[in-house]
Structure 1
Amino acid sequence: MITATVREWYEEEGWGVLDSAETPGGCFAHFSDIEMAGFRTLDPGRQVQLEWEAPGFQQDGYDFRARRVIP
């Protein structure tokens, strides 16, 4: 898992741009309703754990899925 900081989050669309040491310049991440039930928005500066998208999901251009909000 990668820990990243939310740069910008698009609530209506369920995706955002996040920054981490492993992704210089930022990365795109999907919202995951599996472990983040109730979270449709993530405020800038909030930290989350990311995982690589499963094969087959990358056709839309997203590399990561947000899995867990870090308290």
Structure 2
Amino acid sequence: MVTATVREWHEEEGWGVFDSPETPGGSWGHYSHIERGGFRTLSPGQRVDLTWEAPGFKQDGYDYRAVGVVPRRD
């Protein structure tokens, strides 16, 4: 798990992009990967703990996919 920052979040569509040093270019994620009881709203600039994978193909133009996102409280 790495610390990442929310670059953009599309609440209506339930997806966003997370930036971290380990995921150059960003990591695509869906709200279903966000932990803490269906927490769907994130804000740009918010810090999260991110678990990601490189699925071997670009997903919506991104080389990395978020498979676990935990909003940080700091």
Unmatched runs of 5 consecutive residues or more in structure 1: none
Unmatched runs of 5 consecutive residues or more in structure 2: none
Displacement after TM superposition at 1:22 (Å): 0.5
**Residue 66 of structure 2: aligned partner:** 64
Q: Which runs of 4+ in 1 moved over 6 A?
A: none
**Residue 9 of structure 1: aligned partner:** 9
Aligned residues between the structures: 68
Identity of aligned residues (%): 58
TM-score, L = length of structure 1: 0.71
Structure with the higher fraction of residues in strand conformation: 1
Whether the 8 Å contact between 2:52 and 2:68 is mirrored in structure 1 is: no
Whether the 8 Å contact between 2:6 and 2:43 is mirrored in structure 1 is: yes
Note the aligned Cα RMSD (angstroms): 2.6
TM-score, L = length of structure 2: 0.69
